[in-house]
Structure 1
């Protein structure tokens, strides 16, 4: 079995690794570290949770052990898609540079003051860890030069693609020297990412330790096909089903990450869990960085049992002891499912992933099974049958109780019903009608022709009769002729 001591790493790095409790490298580390130390470009493809971060931090520290950074010109650059992943990479550097006192680093992420970051850059840093947006902000302000970068790392490249960072990545590549060494890591290999690697990597050493987009065999995967009793009750019943699923795991669920597709749902689910006595807190991109950091620290340290998260937490977060992952929503992209459930079952531990699938998400669910090439085990809905709404309360299709119990509406009949003193020459609408007993002549009586006024009173031409004419007889108004209309006709007759 290969050990870290066989990989030609710096003795100080090996000592820090030993202090951290590691002895043998993971397959991605064993495959990526040797070519990286030789100065070659590396293209690493491995599922999440396999130790990709150490695959580039360890050789970088070894290579940067000699030399000194200049002001505003970092010697190496690590690009990460999210603040949390960037902060985690920075923690890894702190762990492995324990005995390299002269190596300095800076973390450039959003939600933090520019002033403190500028101060670190002005001193000169050996390792610059940044998200693309904040890095370009510093470049555009003239506070940072990338012409001194010797090693450039792109971590979680497929997530960069999903978040729309690819144009920024291409721009950053253009700001760095052509002679740089590039280390490129990703869990999947989309065509757009392959195009970038072909453009910016020179004869890379390709290290692929697992089939693209596969989940760890240590993770038990189950799905509950869920359908609410009514559309307006689906959210409430789905959250109730989630609580039932958590309770069913019992003591085995020591802690868990619950993933939602939308930030709004993250807040709603977290609030609902807290309402029912579950120790939960939300984390998503709209929260302040200080609050996100506090929540993550609490979850890592065991002070928080349930972390309700958007996909901002699905990539790169290393919490080794996560026992369960609950997908409250089926992810829109099949690759995100692999990254979500990769938060459990890390470092050889067992884990469990539970997903809730509603009918409108079945298409995305089918794409997930196609991607992982495995059928996910179905489990029963915990709300059936005891918790299902009674038929008297609501029908399954969301309709009201039987329609025959309601009285029939007669709006049209009430408007057209004649007064009692009018001649009743037609069959009444509310009277029972029997077709065999109605005589044809009485069923459809012909209306009497209106009486014409004497011709001498008709003073208007025949062509004007459609606009009022000279007749003072109005057809169609019956006994309900308004007084102001009658007055107008009397005035015309008098004239």
Structure 2
């Protein structure tokens, strides 16, 4: 079915064609006609199916007739994150090139003064995150009584981020006679209650089973020992494969994002990072570098997991197995978009068994294990993990890393007195020494069967009696029966 059969205007069809699209995706084909008919809809679609265009395109045609007024936007689109809001704004600029619609973007991390000026001029489309919208509303800079169309995007993500109370309050401030569109990848009970409360006889559109993963994505679980060193080594091995042209690497913590990006750069990879501690301008700049190909690896926290539409991402890595199974679906959905194929690798440590079980239960599929990635094999055909580990330069004041416990060991005991050193100590003790005094009691003489002192104690004893002149005899630890001689204490005293 071509876009021309969906009822869109000629101006809009021209913009779609110029953007390089000829046929709608299933969610677009199912959602655009009822939206043009002013129906409320609930769109359930997995990420990467093109649902943003399924509401942006009909909104442009619906809002083509009418005039905006100061501080009273005609439509409102709610997004959970700044990146998603900025992405929707880009879609409006692209598809609305032949229209005269005005738009404002209300997100945190940028100047509020510029946003207020845009609202005072009047906007047709307001794209906002709930926090910034509620802030400006509380200041009296915005009125929602003229809003005739509401879009709640990524509703399940809104739930995860705790925005549902804000959304409910926003809905009460909009006119009751309005069109409401709700999109979500899953439909948990709180989202169902939200839809029942604020949508009027909605049309349910579902193009994929809830929480299912894209069939165009090849998924692998990569078992690792659990240490960051082992995970980084595996990551570098897979990144070196030819089919990995660019990749997004997801971590659970912001500190891990920063450390991993630094490690990849030191290894010679062109990588960048994006996480919640960065300013909005920095995050947008990093995304632009990745989109333009200046960097081909983007290390990210879950702030970038949902909804980001970056074309041509070949591979997604879960450096940390996600804590929530829903996050797995959204993370790997950054690849295999718009009909393309992709690959997703998830590193799993022994303590990730429960997380993997929850992911497989949610997605309804068993994810195969990749014990040894192809990149981990050497020219001789042997897995790199079975080869002798390369020796690393010793750290200042410490042992070589190769001398430490294996990276996969958890709370491995550290041996303070290696067993193999015991024969050497005993051998030294058997060397000829100065004859003990004849009048020393037999039980004062050391027994060969008794445990010798640890080497550290031997050194301390040697330092304690170093004032004794060297007579060319035994230079090892001083036996207890000789100490009484050095102290010049009579045996019978």
Q: TM-score, normalised by structure 1?
A: 0.79
Question: In structure 2, do the counterparts of structure 1 residues 139 and 277 end up closer, same or farther at CA, with 3 Å as the change threshold?
Answer: same
* Correspondence 1:321-470 to 2 at 5 A: 321-381=312-372, 382=376, 384-386=385-387, 388=389, 393-396=403-406, 397=409, 398-401=412-415, 404=419
Q: Give the Å deviation of 1:400.
A: 2.8
Aligned to 2:47: 48
Residues of 1 paired with 2:362 and 2:150: CA distance? Answer: 30
1:141 aligned residue (116, 139, 142): 139
Matched, 1:300 2:310: no
* Distance (whole Å) between structure 1 residues aligned to residue 167 and residue 11 of structure 2: 33
Bigger Cα Rg: 1
Question: In the TM superposition, what whole-angstrom CA distance separates every residue of 1:392-432 from its partner, at most 9, and x where no partner exists?
Answer: 8244442234764578xxxxxxxxxxxxxxxxxxx999879
Change in 2 beyond 3 A, CA 1:45/1:429:
farther
Q: Say yes or no: does 1:286 pair with 2:277.
A: yes
What whole-Å deviation, never above 9, does each CA across 1:436-485 have from its counterpart, x for those lacking one?
A: xxxxxxxxxxxxxxxxxxxxxxxxxxxxxxxxxxxxxxxxxxxxxxxxxx
The one of 208, 211, 214 aligned to 2:212: 214
- 1:167-218 CA-partner distances (Å, limit 9, x unpaired): 1111111111111110000011111111111111111000000001111111
Distance 2:26 2:248 in 1: 26
What is the DSSP-based 3-state SS (H/G/I as helix, E as strand, rest coil) of the residue aligned with 1:258?
Answer: strand
User: Which residue number in structure 1 is paired with residue 231 of structure 2?
Assistant: 238
Q: Secondary structure at the match of 1:290?
A: helix
Please give the alpha-carbon distance, in whole angstroms, between the structure 2 residues aligned to 1:169 and 1:126: 20
| Local SS of the residue matching 1:325 | strand
**Which digits, 9 at most, give the CA deviation of each residue in 1:33-74, with x for residues without a partner?**
111111110000001010100110111111101010110000
Deviations 1:78-130 (A, max 9, x none): 000111110000000001111112x1000000111011000000000000000
> Secondary structure of 2:322's match?
coil
Q: Within 2, Cα distance between the matches of 1:429 and 1:345?
A: 79
In the comparison of the two structures, how many residue pairs are matched? Answer: 410
Residue 123 in structure 1 maps to residue 133 in structure 2: no
Determine the structure 2 residue equivalent to 1:104: 102
Report the Cα distance in structure 1 between the residues aligned to 2:233 and 2:359, rounded to whole angstroms. 25
**Structure 2 counterpart SS, 1:377:** coil
Change (3 A) 1:337 1:429: farther
Match of 1:311 among 302, 305, 310: 302
Where in structure 1 do 4 or more consecutive aligned residues deviate above 3 Å?
387-392, 394-397, 401-407, 427-434
Give the aligned partner of residue 78 of structure 1. Answer: 77
Mapped to 2, the partners of 1:387 and 1:405 lie a distance apart of: 22
Mapped partners of 1:280, 1:394: distance in 2? 30
Of 189, 192, 195, the residue aligned with 1:194 is 192
1:146 match: secondary structure:
coil
Residue 179 of structure 1 aligns with which residue? 177
User: How far apart in 2 are the matches of 1:293 and 1:254?
Assistant: 21
Tell whether 2:269 aligns with 1:269: no
Where 2:338 maps in the other structure, the secondary structure is helix
Matches of 1:74 and 1:433, distance apart in 2: 92
Aligned-partner Cα distance in 2 for 1:48–1:252: 23
Give the secondary structure class of the aligned counterpart of 2:212: coil
**1:347 alignment partner, SS class:** coil
Distance in 1 (CA, whole Å) between partners of 2:105 and 2:351 is: 41
C-alpha distance in structure 2 between counterparts of 1:311 and 1:325, whole Å? 13
Aligned equivalents of 1:354, 1:129: Cα separation in 2 = 34
